[in-house]
């Protein structure tokens, strides 16, 4: 995994007003956790470009006025409108201690369902894993080359040596979905096919009924004639 360097300076004053002043000057308020103490410092926002706006995970080499630490970016907060970085938290790490990291996902391969008109949907941009720093990858490749309609790759399908996935096993990473227009067309075709299949059955059912009605009408007519014949005999 690559390493990004962050150069920082200890904060003399804490509080919301001082933090806002730092942001106005293009600086990011930060905290370094782990070890014997928490260090509040600030760093130029431009140094975060390769750490935050990227599709790969990184280790961080932090240099605070000559005091150096190896760390990971644990959390970053953005402004809801301007999306500038409001605050960043770092965690010291060591080779002998397991850590949790969010590793970006990279979809690999061509899904058959996409070739048929489906849409490949990424459900998770990153996966949380637990393990030693030496086992952490820059990104996680997710093979989608066998995904057809309504098929998905889940956390349970993933394997990485030395790492444990922290997300729910049945959580979906990527799936092939049918576009709404295609889905509606398929439903209409199915309804039309069902109606066409039902039409001959209805016709066949009507024919025997008509025949039975005709058969029942004949004896009735004959009975009526017999009755008339008896009346005539009686008159004679």
End-of-domain residue from the set 45, 77, 93:
93
For residue 41, what is the domain's CATH number?
2.40.240.10
The whole-angstrom separation of Cα 175 and Cα 50 is 29
Burial class (CB in 10 A: 0-12, 13-18, 19+), 25: exposed
Question: Is residue 127 located within the same domain as residue 170?
Answer: yes
Tokens 């029942």 map to which residue? 216
SS3 assignment, position 30: strand
End-of-domain residue from the set 61, 93, 125:
93
Question: Is residue 88 located within the same domain as residue 41?
Answer: yes
SS3 assignment, position 21: helix
Q: Is residue 187 part of a domain?
A: no
Q: What is the pLDDT along the chain (236 residues), one digit of tens a residue?
A: 899 999 999 998 888 999 999 999 999 999 999 878 899 999 999 999 989 988 899 999 999 999 999 999 999 999 999 889 999 999 999 999 999 999 999 999 999 988 888 889 999 999 999 999 999 999 999 999 999 888 999 999 999 999 999 999 999 999 998 877 666 655 666 677 777 777 665 555 555 555 554 455 445 444 444 445 444 444 44
Distances (CA, A) of 150 to 117, 145, 146, 172, 183: 12, 14, 11, 12, 12
- List, in sequence order, the alpha helices (H) in 46-171: 49-52, 112-115
Q: How many domains does the chain have?
A: 3
Question: Is residue 80 located within the same domain as residue 144?
Answer: no
- List, in sequence order, the alpha helices (H) in 78-163: 112-115
What's the whole-model pTM score?
0.70
End-of-domain residue from the set 93, 122, 140:
93
The whole-angstrom separation of Cα 36 and Cα 153 is 42
For residue 156, what is the domain's CATH number?
2.170.120.20
């Amino acid at each position: 995994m690559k390493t990004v360097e962050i150069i920082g300076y200890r904060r003399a004053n804490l509080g919301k007003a001082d933090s806002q002043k730092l942001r106005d000057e293009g600086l990011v308020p930060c905290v370094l956790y782990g070890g014997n103490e928490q260090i509040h410092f600030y760093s130029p926002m431009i140094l975060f470009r390769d750490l935050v706006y990227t599709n790969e995970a990184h280790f961080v080499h932090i240099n605070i006025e000559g005091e150096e630490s190896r760390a990971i970016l644990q959390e970053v907060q953005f402004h809801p409108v301007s999306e500038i970085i409001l605050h960043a938290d770092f965690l010291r790490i060591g080779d002998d201690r397991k850590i949790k990291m969010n590793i970006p996902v990279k979809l690999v391969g061509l899904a058959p369902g996409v070739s048929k008109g489906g849409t490949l949907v990424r459900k998770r941009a990153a996966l949380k894993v637990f393990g030693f720093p030496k086992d952490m990858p820059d990104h996680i490749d997710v093979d989608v080359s066998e995904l057809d309609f309504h098929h998905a790759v889940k956390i349970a399908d993933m394997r990485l040596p030395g790492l444990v996935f922290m997300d729910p096993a049945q959580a979906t990473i990527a799936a092939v979905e049918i576009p709404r227009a295609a889905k509606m067309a398929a439903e209409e075709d199915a309804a039309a096919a069902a109606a066409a299949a039902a039409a001959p059955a209805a016709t066949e059912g009507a024919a025997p009924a008509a025949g039975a009605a005709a058969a029942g009408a004949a004896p009735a007519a004959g009975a009526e004639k017999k009755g008339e014949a008896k009346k005539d005999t009686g008159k004679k």
